[in-house]
């Protein structure tokens, strides 16, 4: 009996059998045994990852060529290089990994499901973790870090440009900064990500520059108007998804975006936007929101999140507690949301709570004041006036509201700290110290890296910020990294394989089909006085009129009807130009707005559209290229389509709809106000053929 007990215990203990010893390595463990790591068996398969734990507490993915794997019961599961496949028989097996010196194991169970389908008996596999201090690797890592390394994990600068040039490849100076400041992450912008091959190489070089811990390589790939990848699939954007009313499409869009980012090595996406766009005058959110309904935003936002995170890419809900009901762009000024907590819980905070409950990885703060939540006044460095503390810097918002009341345990990341809402009123160091004290974990785009780090070190030394407060953030960041596989690897990745996979995935036909379906289902026919669909004869002319993105609209229309002309104009036409339109079968007027003044009927482009309506007998069909609110400026138009964005797929879907090749099924995700205070078109309105 003692021999049997000893045999069962041996795999649980680090073995000191003779083998290659890795310099500085003190153990090998399975990532899936770490308490903070979530793992599950999907389609009877699970991949196990072996980590080497080093003397200083940091961990790396062990070189698989130096590992051996085994299973105690092949009837339950077999293993091949960490890939475990359940055989279908009930029972338990232990999967063991060894590097020749150390070993670890984990249990895999296969048994009948607790709630089986009566018609079809079902079984389920389960990963059963081992327990013990050796698996507390986050705690060990933090204990082994210097204070500089801990602070470094919280920093996420951008390197958009360097000495006036776009950064598209790793520079020695940037590589040194990554090392010197022990950076935890970097955010990429459109200037950095030009081609698939170049982007994958740049990201790999960033990861190689990190000395101990993998970098969170982050990007704003929302889809629609905020799309960074120049070689990726653009996707129509959130308000277009709101118009589809489809959680399935939203999931598929999130999944496709995640697959492309993952293939490039980008492991964190600053999306989705969960702001409720209930203010038509909002200059910064608009079509980045799923709509004005908290329930719709929550449903589609959670679906998008689940699709994105299913690919291993971290999702980030933004901008907490809500940037939707503002009329000021926080890039330019400091907006205010005046509502009390009860109203915020029902509207602005509802989608965030749903995302938290669904397990979203991170939440981004808003540079917006919420005086009914935090009435703290501070002195502005801009003009000495008293201002309310923005959410990004507010302990009452981040710790009191988000952490304590709403129960969020994930990563909090600031919005960019180089935005005017922060830089105008707070010094760069003061802003960062306030953000950390408020409860943020990741400092996005701090102004002046050296000054900020020195300021944080001084704040820790003086006791203004406790070491414990820093370590709380590092623990959350490392937990996120472990769950998303953002871990340094001992083996150098095969870049040929990486590039081949990236080229296959990024911009793939399958993703283009997801994009096309989303675009077609989003097109909303708001008005139709029996002018659509168009059915011109070959010799009958269609004319596209407009300024911004008019050529994209023209090309899409011309693909369906070759006899199509284009008049590019930003204001009322001359008599000569008007005369050219008299023989047209129909006029398609594209308008593009993003603020209140742009959609005013007194603006030049709206004067142009009303001129077409009033001076010609030809049917005029308006296309709201970006914001659906454009029809407010020309309500007498004969027909109107909303397409919610300026990406190519949306123009193609609009053109197909104009000619009846796509039957519009989109529903307005927002109310379009009328001039008399009543709704011109209600939320949920939408026509079909």
pLDDT digits (tens, 9 = 90+) for 271-299: 999 999 988 887 678 999 999 999 999 99
DSSP state of 122: -
Per mean pLDDT, which range of 93-102, 361-370, 520-529, 651-660 is the poorest?
361-370
Expressed in angstroms, the distance from the first to the final Cα of the chain is 79
Is the per-residue pLDDT at 8 higher than 60? no
Q: Which residue has the higher pLDDT, 284 or 328?
A: 284
Say how far apart CA 116 and CA 202 lie, in whole Å: 48
| Triad 569, 570, 574: Cα angle to 5° | 55
- Calculate helix-pair angle for 509-522, 247-264, nearest 10 degrees: 150
pLDDT digits (tens, 9 = 90+) for 190-219: 999 999 999 999 999 999 999 999 999 999
Identify which of 661, 598, 657 has the alpha carbon closest to the alpha carbon of residue 623. 657
| Triad 575, 579, 583: Cα angle to 5° | 165
Is the per-residue pLDDT at 7 higher than 90? no
Say how far apart CA 227 and CA 221 lie, in whole Å: 5
Residue 58 annotated to the active site: no
Q: Which residue has the higher pLDDT, 105 or 368?
A: 105
Region of 286 please: left (phi>0), alpha (psi -120 to 50) or beta.
left
Given the residues 104, 220, 325, 415, select the one marked as catalytic.
Answer: 415
| Distant-in-sequence, close-in-space partners of 5: CB < 8 Å, separation ≥ 6 | none
Mean pLDDT computed over 468-484? 98
* Contact yes or no for 585/543 (Cβ under 8 A): no
Beta strands in 201-305 (DSSP E): 216-219, 268-269
pLDDT at 646: 97
Is the per-residue pLDDT at 19 higher than 60? no
pLDDT digits (tens, 9 = 90+) for 148-207: 999 999 999 999 999 999 999 999 999 999 999 999 999 999 999 999 999 999 999 999
Residue 331 annotated to the active site: yes
Given the residues 331, 547, 560, 685, select the one marked as catalytic.
Answer: 331
Q: Length of the chain, please?
A: 689
- Residue 358 burial (10 A CB sphere; 0-12, 13-18, 19+): middle
Q: What's the chain's average pLDDT?
A: 93
| Element housing 479 (H / E) | helix 467-483
- Residue 508: pLDDT band with limits 50, 70, 90: very high
pLDDT digits (tens, 9 = 90+) for 218-245: 999 999 999 999 999 999 999 999 999 9
- Coil vs helix vs strand at 373: coil
**Furthest-apart CA pair in the chain: how many Å?**
103
């Amino acid at each position: 009996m003692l021999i049997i007990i000893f045999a069962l215990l041996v795999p649980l203990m680090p073995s000191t059998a003779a083998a290659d010893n890795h310099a500085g390595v003190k153990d090998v463990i399975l990532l899936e045994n770490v308490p903070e790591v979530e793992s599950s068996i999907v389609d009877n398969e699970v991949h196990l990852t072996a980590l080497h734990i080093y003397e200083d507490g940091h961990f790396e993915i062990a070189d698989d060529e130096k590992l051996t794997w085994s299973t105690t019961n092949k009837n339950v599961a077999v293993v091949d290089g960490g890939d475990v496949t359940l055989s279908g028989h009930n029972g338990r097996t232990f999967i063991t990994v060894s590097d020749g010196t150390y070993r670890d194991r984990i249990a895999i169970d296969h048994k009948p499901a607790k709630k089986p389908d009566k018609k079809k008996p079902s079984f389920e596999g389960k990963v059963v973790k081992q327990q013990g201090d050796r698996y507390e690797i986050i705690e060990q890592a933090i204990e082994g870090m210097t204070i500089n390394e801990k602070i470094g994990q919280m920093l996420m600068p951008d390197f958009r440009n360097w000495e006036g040039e776009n950064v598209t490849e790793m520079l020695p100076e940037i590589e040194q900064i990554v090392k010197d400041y022990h950076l935890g992450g970097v955010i990429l912008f459109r200037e950095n990500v030009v081609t698939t091959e170049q982007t994958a190489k740049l990201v790999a070089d960033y990861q190689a520059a990190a000395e101990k811990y993998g970098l969170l390589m982050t990007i704003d790939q929302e889809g629609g108007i905020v799309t960074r990848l120049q070689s990726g699939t653009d996707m129509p954007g959130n308000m277009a998804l709101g118009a589809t009313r489809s959680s399935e499409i939203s999931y598929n869009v999130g999944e496709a975006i995640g697959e492309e980012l993952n293939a490039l090595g980008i492991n964190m996406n600053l999306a989705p936007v969960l702001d409720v766009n209930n203010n038509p005058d909002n200059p910064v959110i608009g079509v980045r929101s799923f709509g004005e309904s908290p329930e719709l935003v929550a449903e589609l936002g959670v679906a998008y999140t689940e699709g994105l995170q299913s690919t291993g890419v971290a999702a980030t809900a933004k901008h907490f507690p809500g940037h939707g009901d503002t009329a000021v762009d926080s890039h330019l000024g400091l907006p205010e949301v005046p509502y009390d907590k009860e109203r915020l819980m029902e509207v602005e905070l509802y989608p965030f709570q749903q995302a938290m409950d669904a397990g979203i990885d991170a939440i981004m703060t808003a540079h917006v004041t919420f005086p009914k939540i935090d009435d703290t006044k501070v002195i502005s460095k801009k003009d000495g006036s008293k201002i309310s503390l923005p959410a990004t810097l507010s302990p009452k918002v981040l710790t009191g509201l988000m952490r304590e009341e709403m129960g969020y345990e994930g990563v909090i990341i600031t919005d960019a700290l180089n935005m005017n809402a922060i830089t105008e009123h707070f010094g760069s160091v003061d802003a960062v110290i306030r953000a950390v004290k408020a409860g943020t974990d990741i400092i996005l785009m701090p102004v002046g890296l050296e000054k900020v780090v020195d300021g944080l070190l001084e704040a820790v030394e003086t006791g203004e910020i406790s070491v414990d407060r820093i370590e709380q953030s590092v623990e959350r960041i490392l937990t996120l990294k472990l769950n998303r596989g953002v871990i340094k690897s001992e083996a150098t990745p095969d870049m040929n394989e990486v590039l081949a996979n990236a080229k296959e995935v990024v911009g793939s036909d399958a993703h283009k089909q997801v994009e096309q379906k989303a675009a077609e289902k989003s097109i909303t026919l708001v008005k139709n006085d029996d002018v659509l669909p168009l059915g011109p004869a070959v010799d009958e002319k269609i004319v596209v009129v407009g300024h911004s993105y008019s050529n994209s609209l023209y090309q899409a229309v011309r693909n369906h009807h070759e006899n199509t002309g284009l008049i590019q104009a930003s204001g009322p036409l001359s008599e000569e130009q008007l005369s050219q339109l008299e023989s047209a079968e129909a006029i398609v007027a594209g308008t593009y707005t993003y603020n209140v003044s742009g959609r005013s009927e007194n603006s030049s482009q709206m004067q142009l559209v009303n001129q077409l309506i009033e001076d010609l007998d030809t049917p005029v069909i308006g296309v709201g290229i970006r914001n659906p609110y454009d029809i407010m400026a020309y309500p007498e138009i004969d027909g109107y389509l909303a397409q919610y964005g300026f990406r190519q797929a949306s123009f193609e879907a609009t053109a197909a709809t104009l000619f009846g090749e796509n039957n519009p099924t989109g529903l307005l995700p927002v109310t379009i106000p009328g001039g008399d205070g009543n709704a011109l078109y209600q939320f949920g309105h939408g026509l079909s053929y």
